[in-house]
């Protein structure tokens, strides 16, 4: 049930776009993902309801798997990370659409420390995103699933997350702001659907074995340190799809005795 592009496109096993979100590569992977899901998922669910949290998680997980299948066809991956990053993206969307309330001097005038606490939460969220993106540049971590899930989560969050009413805090809610709010919600929903359709079409039209952007693999893995010689790097990335091999056959023995990789 893992995400394997060849089996999805050539073998017609399209369920592999959905099944990886409930599979894990071992106990540690499972525990880390469940811990992250418990902290982030429970916060989103308590604030915006079970249905919104489920929609964000599901669409983000599937959307991330589709992008990974397109740009990392040689990778076999499992995990709920796409959906978890989608919930993180939804938290960013929540902050974006309620920015005026979270950091408003008028709303928080009776508690001077509230705006500071909101700012600290925002900084921790940004820090968490940056750290996870850097971890995604190491081998065996699928950054396309992570980042793709976060983008879909942000877009779904614009539609699924409820904006706090300004009227409740005694602030005027103009007609223009209402129109803008509805436009943003529909924009997130429509763009999510369009991106899912386009990426699925690209996956269907692909050969299942090669990426349309070969250098895009550096989004998910970068050999490090950059300045070190090839034989002195801390880790390397999977470049099997870029390697060519030449074999030489010994006419006397009839065996292949030389293999040259370039």
Would you name the residues annotated as active-site residues? 81, 146
Q: For residue 259, what is the enclosing H or E element?
A: strand 256-261
Separation between Cα atoms, residue 116 and residue 172, nearest integer Å = 24
- What whole-number distance in Å separates Cα of residue 107 and Cα of residue 79? 41
Dihedral angle sign, alpha carbons of residues 241, 237, 26, 142: negative
Residue 52 backbone dihedrals phi, psi, to 5 degrees: -60, -45
- Separation between Cα atoms, residue 81 and residue 84, nearest integer Å: 5
| Residue of 146, 13, 9, 130 lying closest to 77 (CA atoms) | 146
Contact 52, 86 (CB under 8 A): no
Which residues are 249's β-sheet partners? 256
d(CA 97, CA 100): 8
């Amino acid at each position: 049930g893992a995400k394997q592009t060849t089996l999805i496109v050539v073998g017609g096993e399209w369920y592999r776009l959905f099944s990886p979100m409930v599979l894990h590569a071992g106990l540690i992977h499972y525990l880390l993902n469940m811990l992250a899901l418990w902290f982030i998922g429970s916060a989103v669910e308590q604030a915006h309801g079970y249905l919104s949290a489920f929609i964000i998680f599901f669409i983000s997980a599937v959307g991330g798997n589709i992008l990974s299948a397109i740009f990392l066809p040689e990778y076999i991956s499992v995990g709920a990370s796409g959906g978890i990053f989608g919930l993180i993206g939804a938290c960013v969307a929540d902050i974006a659409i309620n920015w005026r309330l979270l950091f408003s001097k008028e709303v928080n005038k009776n508690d001077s420390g509230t705006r500071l606490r909101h700012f600290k939460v925002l900084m921790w969220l940004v820090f968490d995103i940056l750290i996870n993106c850097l971890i995604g540049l190491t081998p065996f971590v699928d950054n396309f699933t992570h980042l793709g899930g976060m983008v879909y989560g942000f877009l779904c969050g614009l539609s699924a997350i409820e904006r706090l009413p300004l009227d409740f805090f005694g602030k005027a809610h103009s007609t223009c702001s209402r129109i803008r709010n509805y436009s943003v919600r529909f924009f997130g929903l429509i763009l999510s659907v369009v991106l899912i359709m386009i990426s699925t079409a690209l996956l269907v039209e692909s050969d299942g074995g090669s990426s349309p952007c070969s250098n895009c693999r550096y989004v998910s893995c970068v050999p490090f340190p950059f300045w070190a010689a090839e034989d002195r790097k801390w880790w390397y990335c999977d470049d099997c799809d870029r390697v060519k091999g030449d074999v030489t056959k010994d006419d006397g023995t009839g065996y292949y005795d030389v293999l040259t990789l370039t």
